[in-house]
Amino acid sequence: MTTTSRTTAPPQEATVTTATTTNTKEPVIALRGASAALGSRPVLRGVDLTVRRGEVVALLGANGSGKSTAVRSIVGQVPLSSGELELFGTPFRRFRQWARVGYVPQRTTAAGGVPATVREVVSAGRLARTRLGPLRRADKEAVVRALELVGMADRLGDPVDALSGGQHQRVLIARALAGEPELLIMDEPMAGVDLASQEVLAQALRAQVARGATVLLVLHELGPLEPLIDRAVVLRDGCVVHDGPPPEAVGQHALPGHDHVHPHAGPAAEPIRTGLLS
Ligand SMILES: Nc1ncnc2c1ncn2[C@@H]1O[C@H](COP(=O)(O)OP(=O)(O)OP(=O)(O)O)[C@@H](O)[C@H]1O
């Protein structure tokens, strides 16, 4: 766990600040000078992001600032046009130990139209550990444990099509947890999840942190996860504008560059903008 202090180093406006941490643990994610484009649009423009073993880091920023693209580049879904990426100290092109990584993508459905039960979807998160062989007893137990962590163990045999959006999300989180990964990367894990379930997920994440997992979370507000977050990295237009302690209590809304339209407000709701970008 990092020793970052939240009280001595307040976030600074529009300057890149580095966390004043004495952390000497090895980097699990080391992204240096990373640039990436989607189509012809430059989306990451020289991003530096280091996450050390046992840290819980929140990646924040306005809609479109590049948060999802950053985590998708870390899991190899978006190629870097320049810069370097190392996972667990291994250059990305040589990294093969994907069983060490759990990834929850942003707002996807669990089945994608393919009929599958909750058990099947979550078991898929265990496959990298079984080397695609049959699930053994320990694997099946890990699947049940992961579902218990997200409060969905009673839905094991249900088709995922019969789940609500928030329940889908919890199943996807269970899928990532089933592999008992050392590094957990989650893109807006609380999206579409009701408040009571958010507490369940916060508890699940706490359990991961307690067993020493390293966590990178894309969030639009810290919410119930706030007490778990060691460090916040804020992106603006594909660049890091803050790297340091998250602000206390007020969450992301106090951070420089926050101008995030909340995706889950009803269609008639006014977008919430703080105007700090303008
Ligand atoms: N397939 C694509 N082709 C071209 N541009 C894209 C594509 N996908 C995303 N973009 C653009 O890339 C930019 C960064 O998108 P990204 O999804 O990384 O942002 P984000 O910070 O995760 O946003 P949000 O908070 O809305 O999820 C946006 O301007 C977006 O419009």
| Domains by residue range for the chain, with CATH | 27-108+184-254 (3.40.50.300)
Smallest CA-to-CA distance from 68 within 77, 57, 80 is with 77
Residue 73 Cβ < 6 Å to ligand 1: no
H helix or E strand, kind and range, residue 85? strand 82-87
Distance 82 CA to ligand 1 centre (A): 18
Distance 11 CA to ligand 1 centre (A): 25
- Burial bucket for residue 115 (CB in 10 Å: 0-12, 13-18, 19+): exposed
Residues of the chain with confidence (pLDDT) below 50: 1-22, 249-278
What ligand 1 atom has the least distance to the C-alpha of 69? Answer: 18
Radius of gyration for the chain, computed over Cα atoms and rounded to the nearest angstrom? 18
The order of strands in the sheet holding 27-38 is 41-52, 27-38, 82-87, 90-91
For 92, how many CA atoms within 13 A lie in the half-sphere containing its CB?
19
* Per-residue buried b or exposed e for 21-45, using 16+ beta carbons within 10 Å of the residue's own CB: bebeeebbbbbeebbbbeeeeebbb
Backbone angles phi, psi at 275, to 5 degrees: 75, 10
3-state secondary structure of 176: helix
Distance 26 CA to ligand 1 centre (A): 30
User: How many other CB atoms are found less than 10 A from the CB of residue 81?
Assistant: 13
Residue 271 Cβ < 6 Å to ligand 1: no
* DSSP string across 133-171: S---HHHHHHHHHHHHHTT-GGGTTSBGGGS-HHHHHHH
Residue 262 DSSP class: P
Percent of the chain with pLDDT over 90: 56
Residue 54 Cβ < 6 Å to ligand 1: no
Smallest CA-to-CA distance from 49 within 225, 176, 235 is with 235
Residue 39 Cβ < 6 Å to ligand 1: yes
Residue 128, pLDDT score:
74
End-to-end CA distance of the chain: 36
Structure-token pair, residue 70: 């950053």
Residue 264 Cβ < 6 Å to ligand 1: no
Of 40, 49, 68, 74, best ligand 1 pocket probe by most atoms within 8 Å of the beta carbon: 68
Residue 65 Cβ < 6 Å to ligand 1: yes
Answer yes or no: is the ipTM higher than 0.90: yes
Residue 192, pLDDT score:
80
Residue 41 Cβ < 6 Å to ligand 1: yes
Residue 241, pLDDT score:
94
H helix or E strand, kind and range, residue 37? strand 27-38
Distance 262 CA to ligand 1 centre (A): 15
